[in-house]
Structure 1
Amino acid sequence: MEQAVFTGCQPVNNINVYYEFYPHQTSKKTFVLLHGFLSSTFTFRHLISLLKKEYQVLSIDLPPFGKSAKCNQYVYSYKNLAQTVITLTESLGLKKMTFIGHSMGGQIVLNILHMMPELADKAILLCSSAYLKRFKLPLIISSYIPYFHLFVKYKFARMGVKKNLEDTLYNHAIINDEMINGYLEPFLQDEIFVALTRMIRDREGDLPACILRQIKTPCLLLWGDHDKSMPLKVGEQLNKDLANSELIILKETGHALPEERPIEVFEYIKSFIGSFKTAAD
């Protein structure tokens, strides 16, 4: 029997947020999945297929990515994105969740753990963004130039989806048309580039070390040893700054862990929450 999935765009924090919710008949243990920059729920498709068999799963398209709205009035700061996720989970009646964040999504998770630590029992950070500064002032000022979004679109086109995948994956052999089209689809309309221009202005820097040291939630850090986007040294420093964390390094793996190593990631997640499972269920 096919498991039910509830999908839709819900107005949250003045923007329509797309999400996929997979309830479980017996388990009340809930995982909340937050993707990275220029990505969407699509990046978790393999991991979702594994998690939903045993747990409840909520996967969210962080605005302005994926199928969520692209609104030039929304504030695309990490703090506001974190608040948007918090509000959505509250509207769904979810409590004591385990958050999984990949890349930028990991930084959103860290913001949630800082803002409302009572929401999470544990967190899994997959090659999490950390220690990035705010965009430099000349770029922020340039973002106010009319039609600057066309420059953003041009830069994206030059980079190309396939080239971006090659930069984030160690194993290029897994790149196929389904993967390329899945990541390309949300970028076929100009609205996303207008929103990305706004994000240049709104995105504050990542949480500083002094804040990270205040986070007490148990965190599992999974990192690829060939990660070019967030090098392993970032994970090692994050492991030092978080008070209650464990770092596991995956060999011959790049930045896109949910694409390259979904089965291994799933097994590490199960092991990490194993001692907690009975109480949560």
Structure 2
Amino acid sequence: MIEQTKKILGINIHYQYYFEHSSKPSVILIHGFLSSSFSFRKLIPLLMNHFNIISIDLPPFGLTEKSPSFVHSYRNMSNVVIQLLEKLNIRRAIFIGHSMGGQIALYTAKYRPQLVDRLVLLCSSSYMKRARSSLTIGSRIPYFHIIIKRVLAKQGVLNNLRNVIYDHSLIDDEMINGYLQPFYDHNIFIALQRMIRDREGDLQEEELKKITIPSLLIWGENDKVVPVDVGKRLQKDLPCSKLITVKRTGHLLPEEKPDLVYTKIMDFVVK
């Protein structure tokens, strides 16, 4: 595994690259909101026997630079992914996106379809609008990031994990510390303040219907963050998609059911 950073769009982007042989197909892993490459740590060992893997920390998460000047829009995050793959000379890949990462994968499929061989969307964020105007206006207040920090601290990592995981017995110190680590850097809250006004919202129905890339949707039936009904709607709007739902599973699919996700991905890719 190669762990590196590259300067893209003016900031240092951190990524993990599991490369074995040029003949293997490439898989791009894109994590969700308030997460990082850490969320794929159980899935990567299963995939690495069959694929070259690039797992990206989207700005401002994980070990990627937390810049107040970077435009934290979905289009720009997609541009980060595209430009990183160009630097690594990867011309086509299978994209696996969890939650917000699924939306970034969809943006990439819209703007650079020739780069995306297949889409695997795990409880993908879908149909969310821009933040309400009162919140975007509030985000321009100089010290609004302190409010964000206090809100997230009040919620706490443990409570957030209990909200996104169905089986609470899976939550341990390693998991808590892994999701907490990026938030020791105060700059993440300043970047999140910027993200509130930069995020343009998810692709809507008319845009989704133009994406004809083969897509596999996997959803936890107990997802409280992006309910399974959203997955059913997304399956109708993506012309070449299939939806699989998983019982007794919440939002954090790569943590809860890595073996099942791996099996479904392999079934999808080999067809």
**TM-score, with structure 1 as normaliser:** 0.95
Q: Is 205-214 or 19-28 further displaced after alignment?
A: 19-28
Q: Letter of the aligned partner of 1:56 in structure 2? A: N
Q: Letter of the aligned partner of 1:251 in structure 2? A: K
1:14 to partner: Cα distance: 1.3
Q: Distance in 1 between matches of 2:92 and 2:145?
A: 39
Q: Which residue of 2 aligns with 1:225?
A: 221
Alignment pair present for 1:118 and 2:114: yes
Could you say if the C-alpha distance between residues 173 and 96 of structure 1 is closer, same or farther in structure 2, counting changes exceeding 3 Å? same
Among 158, 168, 172, the residue aligned to 1:172: 168
| Matched-pair contact (CA < 8 Å) for 1:27–1:55 | no
1:1-281 counterparts in 2 under 5 A? 5-25=1-21, 27-275=23-271
| Matched-pair contact (CA < 8 Å) for 2:78–2:105 | yes
Q: Distance in 1 between matches of 2:6 and 2:157?
A: 28
| Matched-pair contact (CA < 8 Å) for 1:127–1:255 | yes
**TM-score, with structure 2 as normaliser:** 0.99
1:266 to partner: Cα distance: 0.2
1:26 to partner: Cα distance: 6.3
1:95 to partner: Cα distance: 1.6
Q: Distance in 2 between matches of 1:174 and 1:84?
A: 32
1:154-173 Cα offsets, whole Å, 9 max, x none, are 00001100000000000000
Q: Distance in 1 between matches of 2:57 and 2:48?
A: 17
Q: Distance in 2 between matches of 1:85 and 1:26?
A: 20
Three-state SS of the structure 1 residue aligned to 2:59 is: coil
Three-state SS of the structure 2 residue aligned to 1:114 is: helix
1:104-162 Cα offsets, whole Å, 9 max, x none, are 00000000000010001101000000000100001111111121100000000011000
Q: Distance in 1 between matches of 2:49 and 2:10?
A: 33
Between the two proteins, what is the percent identity of the paired residues?
Answer: 49
Three-state SS of the structure 2 residue aligned to 1:227 is: coil
Three-state SS of the structure 2 residue aligned to 1:37 is: coil
| Matched-pair contact (CA < 8 Å) for 1:27–1:56 | no
| Matched-pair contact (CA < 8 Å) for 1:125–1:220 | yes
Q: Letter of the aligned partner of 1:169 in structure 2? A: I
Three-state SS of the structure 1 residue aligned to 2:185 is: coil
Q: Distance in 2 between matches of 1:78 and 1:15?
A: 16
1:25 to partner: Cα distance: 3.0
Three-state SS of the structure 2 residue aligned to 1:95 is: coil
Three-state SS of the structure 2 residue aligned to 1:46 is: coil
Q: Which residue of 2 aligns with 1:278?
A: none
Q: Which residue of 2 aligns with 1:279?
A: none
Structure 2 runs not aligned, ≥5 long: none
Q: Letter of the aligned partner of 2:250 in structure 1? A: G
- In the alignment of these two chains, the number of paired residues is 271
Q: Letter of the aligned partner of 1:37 in structure 2? A: F
Name the Cα RMSD after superposition. Answer: 0.7
